[in-house]
Chains A and B, each alone.
Chain A
Amino acid sequence: MKMVQIKDLVYRYFRRDDDDNIIETIEAIAGVNMDVEKGQFIAILGHNGSGKSSLAKHINGLLQPAEGAVYVKGMNTSSEEEIWRIRQSAGIVLQNPDNQIIGNIVEEDVAFGPENIGIPTQDIWTRVAESLEAVGMEAFRLSSPNRLSGGQKQRVAIAGILAMEPECIILDEPTAMLDPKGREDVIKTVHRLNKEKGITIILITHKMDEVVDADKLFVMDHGKVVMSGTPREVFSDVEKMKEHRLEVPHAAELAYELREEGIPLPEMIMTKKELVKALCQLS
């Protein structure tokens, strides 16, 4: 089943002068097609300004297409009747944890979503407990969010989405403001939710080491999808990635450079372990 279907999506925004006349039209998304199957872990890569965040915001109807359409579980995000069901199915986690936390204590924050959609009180507490456990934050249930680190806040934000029991979670650069430990915890949590709960994950990032385990990657530039495939396929084209102002994982880059120098290394090396093994086999 298709979790998300994006068809010929175009999105523009306008710059206006003081009299509200349009002085510039910017095409942030310029004709994107994308299918995400239920249960997949996909990643969307692109430099800042490539259109990836605008795309993410279309998936749960925060932005509306200028042309084309976006479907979540077959529901059109332009339909006002469906929008709440869409947002319940597809939750979004944003970059800055401080902009997403509203409760005075952690459990209150996580309960906010289900409370809003009229879940009975008893069920809310079950959901809160389960969600906090799923992100490994149950010990902080009664803490004040101010006292948490960035990574912990981000996991509380994810728990808040989980409490809505979504089938899909979109994460828009969730680790950009975190330290290495916080990053690792968030990425591990997201992978666990995908594997254990079968939640479809759409991860938007420009950090390559976060996506080596994804099922499929989409690379965006100038509002278009310019590359797609498994991480191995995408990362083997080092030059093309650089053209799109992205890096490849270190091991892939070094393997590429060594191949250029004539060392017969296999293509599709992505990790340090693979590179060590390949080099040792040569000598």
Chain B
Amino acid sequence: MSIKLENVSYQYRDSKRRPALSHVTLEIKKGEFIGIAGHTGSGKSTLIQHFNGLIRPTGGTVLFDGENIHEQGYSLKELRGKVGLSFQYPEHQLFEVTVFEDVCFGPKNLGLPQDEIQKRAKQALELVGMDEKYYEKSPFELSGGQKRRVAIAGILAMEPEYFILDEPTAGLDPVGRDRILQLLKRLHEEKGITIILVTHSMEEIADYVDRILVMEQGRLRFDDTPSEVFQHKDELEQMGLSVPFYSSLIDELRQNGYFSEDSEVSAITLQEAKQAILENWKRDQQS
């Protein structure tokens, strides 16, 4: 069970520039929580639109559960029910009169019976933490964070197996951001939904994902666990990406002799950095 790209390239029509994607090979297995990072223009948005067949590659193949999705007779409509995609600022696409109707739109399009549509919409709204009192409100009366959660519910109501989100936290304040990330974590852990998160902030995803794909100029530069990827501090910085604050702090502490040169201390999160520094301090106190 996976989404698999084999040697995928994509060239935008009438563009004389380099291809938007060049020879990308990767596999996303069901149940993973993946981050895709890259600078603006690195190809990450083009990449994710291949995952549910919105873009047809100009070279290579895209396989879903082993089947070529661009083979004749393959139902892309069905695929898009399984692979949900939330674009940047998804709340700009809310359009129905009420919150509830907006969330019903997706499952309605899948041709489900009325009671199933309503059941799914209710479940999805419950998942994103939108109370029943909001059902009959206009989406435009909600706050930015709420609108975004309603837009996400609209995709969840299709019950996707894979959920791709392009910059889901852009423009939200810290509380709104943490709420969305916690929600994705819950969807992953409790519902087993595969989450694919596009971002340009490594910081933000470091706590959550098991694996990071880094795109640069249409190529897949890194495909590894966060701690492995963050070892490449200089290369990431050259790509306009920054490693998480705590990783580079530990790095600088080592360079300044706070940790010994050969110590294998590393950290991605606040808690890990705190632990590492505390242990070092306690050792110093004893000696």
Contacts and interface: CB of A to CB of B under 8 A. Distances in A.
B265 interface: no
B241 interface: yes
Contacts of B174: 47, 206, 245-247
Given A275-B249, A276-B258, A283-B284, A179 B40 contact: yes
Interface stretch (A36-44, A117-125, A128-136, A257-265): A257-265
Contacts of A15: 141
Interface string A89-130: 000000100000000000000000000000000000000000
Given A254-B270, A263-B281, A280-B257, A48 B200 contact: no
Contacts of A206: 173-174
5 contacts: A48-B172, A95-B171, A245-B173, A254-B270, A280-B257
Contacts of B240: 179-181
Contacts of B277: 254, 258, 263, 279
A49 B281 CA distance: 42
Contacts of A263: 277-278, 281
Contacts of B246: 250, 254
B248 A272 contact: yes
Interface residues of A, number: 33
Interface of B: 39-41, 141, 143-145, 170-176, 200-201, 240-242, 245-246, 248-249, 252-253, 256-258, 270, 273-274, 277-278, 280-281, 284
Contacts of A173: 171
Contact of A181 (B39, B201, B253): B39
A280 B278 contact: no
A257 B274 contact: yes
A150 B219 CA distance: 23
Contacts of A49: 143
Contacts of A251: 245, 249
A82 B24 CA distance: 60
Contact of B40 (A149, A176, A275): A149
A121 B257 CA distance: 61
A49 B144 CA distance: 9
A251 B274 CA distance: 11
A177 B175 CA distance: 17
A279 B175 contact: no
Contacts of A247: 174
Given A251-B245, A276-B249, 7 more contacts: A49-B143, A180-B240, A206-B174, A250-B249, A251-B249, A254-B270, A263-B278
Contacts of A27: none
Chain B CB count within 10 A is highest, among A176, A179, A247, for A179
Contacts of B141: 15
A258 B274 contact: yes
Contact of B173 (A47, A177, A261): A47
A279 B40 contact: no
A15 B145 CA distance: 20
A250 B245 contact: yes
A254 B273 contact: yes
A172 to B, nearest CB: 12
Contacts of B274: 254, 257-258, 261
Given A247-B174, A254-B249, A179 B200 contact: yes
